[in-house]
Every structure is written in C-alpha cells, then in structure tokens.
C-alpha cells in the first residue's frame, strides 16, 4: 500500500528513535517504509519464527504474548508509535513473542535489507534501537510488579558503573587488611583466635562488597509508555519508587561535570508541577532525556487525538442513538497511583507472612499502597537493653559451662531465660512493626497498635483544599542517619510521621499521591463537563429541529391579516 509520507514524517519526528536527525533525513527514512493494513485478530508473527520484517505501529493496537514453560503469558500491548521486531533483526534471534492485531492495525514495515541499510547509514538510529533492545532483554529477566497491563517499558538504565567501583574501594581495603593480617599471622606461631580474626575481617570485606554490588544493581531509572520511574532498593531495609506521569513533565534538565561529560554520566532532573524526580549519577543521561522528551510528546499528541475522538463519538451517539452499536469504552490516561479496576485481585499474605515479607523494612509497597515504619534506630532504642541482656547472658553461659557444678541446672535455666528474653524482644519488634504510616491513592492513615492491646487509627482524605506538607531533620544524628519527621496539615487535622527514614522521599510521595488524586478528580470533572456540553447541544438540536418542522407546516407563514 502507498505510504502517506506526510503522516509518516509527522509520526517519526515525535519519536525518540529519530531524535537528532534533520527533517530531510527523516523524510528519507520515511521512504524506506512500506505500509500494510492488518485485520483484527490476524497474527503478524509467531514466537520462534525467523525475523522477516521490522514493524512500527501507525494506527491501532497489537497484543504481544509469550509461551513460557508451556503457558501463554500476556507480555504487553503496544500502540501508535511503538515498534517491534528490532531484537530479532539486531541480534539475529528468532521472534521472542507472538504478535496479534487487537483491532484494525496499520503498520509501517521494513525488510531486513532496508533495516540494516538504515542502521549503516544512520548510526544514531542503531544506537537508539540497541538501547531499547538491551532494555527489553533486561526487563525479561526482571520482575516489575507495578507495571500496568497496558504499560510497556521502553528504556532501563542504572547509575554509572564508576560509582559502584568507588563504593567498592573501602570493602576492598578491608579485605586487603584481612589478607595482610593472615599473611603476618601465618608467618608466626598462631592460635585458633589468631586465625579467626583475619578470616572475619576478610569475610566482612567480601560481604560488604557483595552488599554494595547488589545495592547498586537494584537501583533503576526507567521510562515506560506512561511514566518516568526511579526505583531504589536497599537490601532488607527499604524499597522505594518515585515516579512522574509523562503528561505532567514540564522540563528535563541534565547536569554533569567535566569528568561526567567525558565518561558520559550525569544527573537528570525531571521537573513536574509538584516538584520533580531527580535521577543522580545516571549513565548516558542525554539518551535518557531524549527518551523522556520523545514519549512525553507522543503521549500528549495521542491524548489530544483521543479526546477529539471521544467528543466526536459521544456527540454522534447522542445525536443518532439508534445507529450506535452500544457503549464504547474509551481508554483514559492512566494515573499510576490509581488502582486499576481491570487488574486481577491482589493475593493477600497472612499476618505472619506479612511480617516475614516486610521484616525490618522501613518502607514497602503493596500495589498502590505505601507503608512506612519508623527508622531502625527507633527500633534499636526500644530493644537495646534486651539485646544487651541476651549478649550478656550468652557470655555468662560461656563462662558457666566451663564449671561442672552448674552443668546440671544450666540447660533448664538457659532455656527459660532465653524464652523470656526472646519473647520480650519479639514483643518489642511487633510494637515497632505495628506502628505504621500508610499512604493510599485516596487517604493518609496513622496507625498505632500494641501487640495484644488497643489499636488507634487516624485517617484523612487527600481532597482537602487546605493541604500542606513539610519535613524536618532536627539533629546531627537525624541528618547522618537520614530520618526525621514529616508534618502533613489537612484542614484542622495534623499528621506527624515521626522517625521515618528519608523524610524527603516521604514528602515527595505524599505530594505525588495528592497530585494524582487531584488529576483523577479533574478527569471526572472533564467528563461531567463533556456530558453537560452534550446536553446543551442536544437541547439546541431538538429545539432547532422543532423550529424547522414548524416552518415546513402549510400555512404557518401565510398570515394575510
């Protein structure tokens, strides 16, 4: 089918893949494509097949599924501007998915020869495609349970490897000290204690290094079809995610020093109405910024088109109700913080399962609900005396076990004492565990619950016009350990989140949830305004129709006096 070059050029210009190309270069690229129409339900290609084309969606939606261990799983759903088939052509691999047209689909198609010719002629295009392909390979190994059913991950990157290497310096020094100690002690007469000391030092260095590597590898900067995400996981202690919907992004700023420009790293600041998302020490920041800008332009353009189509279709159904095939639901812009009604119900853990799954975590997420606990230093303040008692009693046992006089009664005394101490320690942990602050898409909750005791809960909605958030870290210790107080004023009600880890992050979470809530309210208001506008138009249409009918009646205008 002949290609509408004007439409194709317009689509290519807004896509990140072609960022950096001049207008005449984009026009040349557009001439390489063929256009094909695919009927609803038709299979475009199957998993395991040899790659024959690179495709770009011009109109419609394509569903991608994958068979894993004999089970068919929905991989993603892509729409206008998205592309598929690049991984198979770039890496000479068979198709990893099966693609099926979900409705009438118009595709732009490139043969393998033309695809590789374009890659040779425009190296920047190859680099952008390779980046997305590598990201998709990485995503296949990772599990992001917060991704929506109609959401596609386009680009994933981490902090620059340089910063991981710098953080590994101290663990390597510690390991080196252990090696030196072992060498010195092996040259002399040594006791068992002398062997243990360097072994412990080396083990501490290795453990610290492994922890540092895992901590670095668990932080991701992500661009999806709907939002920009910074995900940070600190092993055991915290799991945080900060995001900005693409249609709320105002600007993308890049900051880097001279070394950063040489090694290609820097900070990317995504600015939104309520603040922003700072992504520090990022590898290849310019590429990330171009992805964000390209997809932001796309989602705004598609939203405008969908809004026009929605108004036209609603007006058509209102004016000609008999010709409608039934209500046609329209996709809305997804607000990441809202619960998706089409998503499967979340499997709730048991009480014990929840305790073990969130053990020692000061921040964790369950769907769209964020729960905060007080900092581990607060837990240490509750349990330090019990911990010292356990350590002191253990040292006492080591001394007493060497005296045969105490051997008979020692097991019974030790068992009872340990049972009492660990029971009290468990009670103190549960007391800390049950004192939580919770943020949902509609409200804020402050919950205090004593184990086997009373529960006190305070809650307030996010819809108050008088809504203020501030945070503070009062002392040097608070600054060093990064914990403090977040103060939320909602009308006459004040919430104090005492002792929370990273109060700045909590502050931003609250602001983001508030923004998402107000955007949902605005969408509902827009829907009501459209309905009111349709009522006015229908009233005018009926009134003008009656006037025309009256004018057509014989003798209506024949008054001779």
Residues 180 and 119 in one domain: no
**Neighbouring C-beta atoms of residue 64, cutoff 10 Å:** 20
Q: Is residue 418 located within the same domain as residue 488? A: no
Residue 90 pLDDT: 83
Q: Give the tens place of pLDDT for each residue, 231-266.
A: 887 765 666 777 788 878 888 999 999 999 999 999
What 3-state DSSP class applies to 111? coil
Do 117 and 6 lie in one domain? The reply is yes
418 and 443 assigned to the same domain: no
CATH number of the CATH domain containing 463: 2.30.29
**Structure confidence by residue, pLDDT tens digits, 348-386:** 566 677 777 788 888 888 888 999 999 989 999 999 999
In this structure, the chain runs to a length of: 561
Query: What proportions of the chain, in percent to the nearest 5, are helix, strand and coil?
Result: 50, 25, 25
DSSP secondary structure code for residue 16 in this structure: G
pLDDT at 259: 93
In this prediction, what percent of the chain has a pLDDT beyond 70? 85
Owning domain of residue 213: 162-217
Q: Are residues 466 and 512 in the same domain?
A: yes
Q: Write b or e for each residue in 65-82: b if 16 or more Cβ atoms lie within 10 A of its Cβ, otherwise e.
A: bbeeeeeeeebbbbbbbb
Q: What is the mean pLDDT of residues 35-61?
A: 89
Kindly give the interhelix angle for 123-141 and 112-121, rounded to the nearest 10 degrees: 110
CATH no. for residue 50?
2.60.120.10
Identify the sign of the CA torsion 527, 533, 537, 543: positive
DSSP 21: -
- Integer CA distances (angstroms), 292 to 15, 61, 150, 156, 270, in order: 10, 22, 18, 12, 9
Residue 536, in any domain of the structure: yes
- Please give the pLDDT value at position 328: 46
Contact call for residues 392 and 418 (beta carbons, < 8 A): no
State how far the alpha carbon of 321 is from the alpha carbons of 163, 314, 326, 513, in Å: 63, 10, 9, 39
Q: Please, what's the largest Cα pairwise distance for the chain?
A: 135
pLDDT at 560: 46
- Residue 233 located in a structural domain: no
Percent of the chain with pLDDT over 90: 20
**Same-domain check for residues 40 and 99:** yes
Regarding whether 531 and 406 lie in a shared domain, the answer is: no
Shared domain for 414 and 444, answered yes or no, is no
The answer to the question of residue 423 being in a domain is yes
Asked if residue 66 is part of any domain, the answer here is: yes
pLDDT at 144: 78
From 429, 446, 463, the end of a domain falls on 429
Q: 451 phi and psi, to 5 degrees?
A: -55, 125
Residue 107 within any structural domain of the chain: yes
Does residue 410 share a domain with residue 527? no
Instruction: Point out which residues pair with 234 in neighbouring strands.
Output: 238
| Averaged pLDDT score across all residues of the chain | 81
Q: What is the DSSP string of 250-285?
A: -EEEEE--HHHHHHTEEEEEEEETTEEEEEEEEESH
Whether 417 and 465 share a structural domain: no
> Is the same domain home to 28 and 109?
yes
Residue 176 placed within a domain:
yes
Q: Lowest mean pLDDT of 132-146, 322-336, 533-547, name the range.
A: 322-336
Instruction: Report yes or no: 238 and 375 within 8 Å, Cβ to Cβ.
Output: no
For 515, the token pair is 């923004």
**Can you give the pLDDT at residue 559?**
45
- Mean pLDDT over residues 102-131, rounded? 88
What is the total count of domains within the chain? 4
Domain-embedded: residue 49: yes
> What pLDDT is stored for residue 260 in this prediction?
92
pLDDT at 174 over 80: yes
Task: Specify whether 387 is located in the same domain as 517.
Answer: no
In a domain, 277, yes or no: no
Cα-only R_g, the chain: 31
């Amino acid at each position: 089918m002949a290609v509408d070059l004007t439409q194709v050029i317009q689509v290519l210009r807004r896509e990140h893949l072609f960022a950096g190309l001049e207008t005449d270069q984009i026009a040349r690229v557009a001439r390489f494509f063929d256009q094909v129409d695919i009927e609803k339900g038709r299979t475009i290609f199957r998993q395991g097949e040899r790659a024959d084309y690179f495709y770009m969606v011009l109109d419609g939606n394509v569903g991608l599924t994958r068979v894993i261990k004999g089970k068919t799983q929905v991989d993603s759903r892509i729409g206008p501007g998205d592309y598929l088939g690049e991984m198979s052509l770039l890496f000479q691999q068979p198709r990893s998915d099966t693609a099926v047209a979900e409705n009438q689909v118009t595709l732009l198609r490139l043969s393998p020869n033309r695809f590789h010719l374009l890659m040779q002629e425009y190296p920047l295009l190859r680099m952008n495609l390779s980046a997305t392909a590598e990201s998709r390979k990485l995503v296949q190994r990772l599990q992001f349970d917060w991704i929506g059913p109609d959401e596609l991950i386009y680009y994933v990157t981490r902090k620059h490897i340089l910063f991981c290497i710098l953080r590994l310096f101290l663990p390597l020094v510690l390991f080196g000290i252990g090696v030196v100690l072992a060498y010195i002690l092996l040259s002399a007469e040594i006791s068992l204690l002398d062997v243990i000391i360097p072994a412990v030092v080396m083990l501490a260095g290795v453990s610290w290094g492994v922890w540092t590597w895992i901590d670095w590898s668990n932080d991701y900067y992500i661009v999806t079809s709907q939002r920009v995400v910074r995900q940070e996981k600190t092993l055991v202690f915290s799991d945080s995610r900060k995001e900005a919907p693409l249609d709320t992004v105002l600007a993308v700023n890049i900051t880097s020093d001279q070394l950063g420009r040489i090694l290609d790293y820097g900070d990317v600041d995504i600015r939104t109405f309520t603040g922003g998302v700072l992504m520090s020490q990022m590898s290849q920041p310019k590429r990330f910024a171009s992805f964000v800008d390209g997809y932001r332009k796309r989602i705004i353009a598609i939203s405008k088109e969908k809004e026009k189509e929605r108004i036209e279709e609603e007006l058509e159904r209102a004016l000609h109700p008999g010709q409608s095939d039934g209500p046609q639901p329209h996709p809305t812009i997804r607000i990441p913080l809202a619960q998706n009604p089409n998503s499967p119900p979340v499997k709730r853990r048991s009480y014990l399962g929840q305790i073990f799954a969130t053990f020692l975590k000061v921040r964790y997420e369950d769907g769209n609900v964020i729960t905060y606990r007080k900092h581990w230093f607060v837990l240490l303040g509750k349990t330090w005396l019990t911990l010292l008692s356990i350590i002191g009693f253990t040292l006492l046992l080591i001394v007493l076990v060497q005296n045969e006089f105490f051997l008979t009664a020692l097991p019974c005394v030790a068992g009872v004492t340990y049972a009492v101490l660990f029971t009290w320690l468990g009670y103190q942990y549960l007391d800390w565990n049950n004192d939580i602050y919770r943020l949902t898409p509609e409200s804020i909750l402050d919950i205090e619950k004593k184990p086997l005791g009373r529960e006190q809960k305070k809650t307030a909605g996010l819809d108050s016009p008088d809504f203020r958030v501030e945070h503070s870290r009062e002392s040097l210790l608070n600054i060093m350990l990064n914990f403090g107080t977040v103060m939320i004023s909602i009308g006459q009600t004040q919430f104090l989140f005492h002792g929370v880890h990273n109060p700045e992050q909590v502050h931003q979470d609250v602001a983001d949830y508030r923004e998402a809530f107000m955007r949902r309210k605005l969408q509902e208001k827009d829907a009501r305004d459209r309905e009111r506008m349709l009522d006015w138009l229908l009233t005018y249409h009926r009134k003008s129709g009656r006037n025309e009918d009256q004018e057509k009646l014989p003798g209506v205008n024949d008054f001779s006096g």
